[in-house]
Structure 1
Amino acid sequence: MSINPVSPWISRFGGLIPAGLVLDLACGNGRHAAWLAQRGLEVLAVDRNPELLAEIGAPGVATQQVDLENGPPEPLSALFQPQRFSAVVATNYLHRPLFPLILSSMAPQGILLYETFAAGNEQFGKPSSPDFLLQPGELLALLAADRAGNWHVLAFEDGFVEQPKPAMVQRICAVKQAGGLATTLRIG
């Protein structure tokens, strides 16, 4: 089995994740789940592909097969319980209807690490459908629209990357603030 290296975005901000259960959403072969577990975090790796989940086998990583897009609603409601996760990590995956569930499932002081393809990526190959490409500033807009949470953006990028292959990406690292703090959108 060949495992891709950990995303530089995840390795850069993964140290900010507090103790608690971390969700690796659409985890694929578990490269981030295993990396996070090696750092002492408890990780739930979720994907629809049972073969990929079976490859993970890392100590500290529990796996769960869930079809995040077409499955019945019960597994999603059980997965995304309010304030369940100390962090949600997602890379190279976009299903917009999940965002309210993702954001509500974050505990106060939880970290959102999200990185996926953005508009303009069609010039480099797949994904090329607008359904799978974030629009400019879309991650910021999704956090700003979250009425139940108050988010402090630690870092945001929206543009071209050369590695691991040329692509347009958007990525964010944000902390869910406790209490009635106002949403802070600071580009860093």
Structure 2
Amino acid sequence: MSSQLPSDWITQHCPVATPGHNRALDLACGAGRHSFWLAKRGWDVTAIDRDLSRIEQSGNRVINWIEADLETGNWPLENRQFDLIVVVNYLHRPLLDHLRAATSPGGTLIYETFMVGNERFGRPRSPEFLLRPDELNKTFADWNIITTQQGPVRDSDTGLPVSVKQAIVAQKPAKPENE
């Protein structure tokens, strides 16, 4: 099923898990497509979503599943840090500061979601759930921005636009030696 394939943005930009640097968070994991993909590549995955009923776990014990509503104001991962954080097709702006704090020094954030202009193609349509132009670049301007893109996403067969998205891969600065 194609909806279960991971995002091309994630597969193209995901760093390699290494011993001691392999903790990953899949925020708003949905059915777990990125969680399963990351776990197969050696990441120690924590996956969080408000509804885990869509996940086909079939005995899966590799992934730490957490069911929590991320929009209640209670951050369920207080004092936890991850070497990789993946967010796809989800935006709740109050969480951006939590994502910054939850990324380990030297860790990577890979974020891809809809932006203004997507309302022409479907959901989401509300500005509350659509990034503004360059919003991720501005939010993570003090990090090492590895790559970014924004604009229409085209159907691979027809070449016609099907959505409007913004994406970033950014690395949090490592702590200075004297800390």
Question: Quick check: TM above 0.5?
Answer: yes
Find the counterpart in structure 2 of residue 87 from structure 1.
84
Residue deviations 1:40-61, cap 9 Å, x none? 11000100003124x2454521
Query: Which structure is higher in helix share?
Result: 1
Residue deviations 1:36-95, cap 9 Å, x none? 000011000100003124x2454521100010002x62xx1x41425x111110000000
Whether 2:133 is the aligned partner of 1:136: answer yes
Q: Is the 8 A contact 2:22 2:42 kept in 1?
A: no
> Structure 1 residues 110, 47: CA separation in 2 closer, same or farther (over 3 Å shift)?
same
Find the counterpart in structure 2 of residue 9 from structure 1.
9
Report the number of matched residues: 170
Find the counterpart in structure 2 of residue 60 from structure 1.
62
Q: Which of 9, 27, 30 lines up with 2:29 in the alignment?
A: 27
Q: Is the 8 A contact 2:84 2:103 kept in 1?
A: yes
* TM-score (normalizing by structure 2): 0.86
Q: What are structure 2's unaligned runs of at least 5 residues?
A: none
**Whole-Å Cα distance in 1 between the matches of residues 29 and 155 of structure 2?**
19
Matched-pair identity in %: 40
> Structure 1 residues 33, 10: CA separation in 2 closer, same or farther (over 3 Å shift)?
same
RMSD value over aligned CA atoms?
Answer: 2.2
Q: What are structure 1's unaligned runs of at least 5 residues?
A: 145-149, 181-188
Residue deviations 1:120-145, cap 9 Å, x none? 0011011111011000000011113x
Matches for 1:119-130 after TM superposition, within 5 Å: 119-130=116-127
**SS of corresponding position for 1:27:** coil
> Structure 1 residues 52, 2: CA separation in 2 closer, same or farther (over 3 Å shift)?
farther
Find the counterpart in structure 1 of residue 175 from structure 2.
179
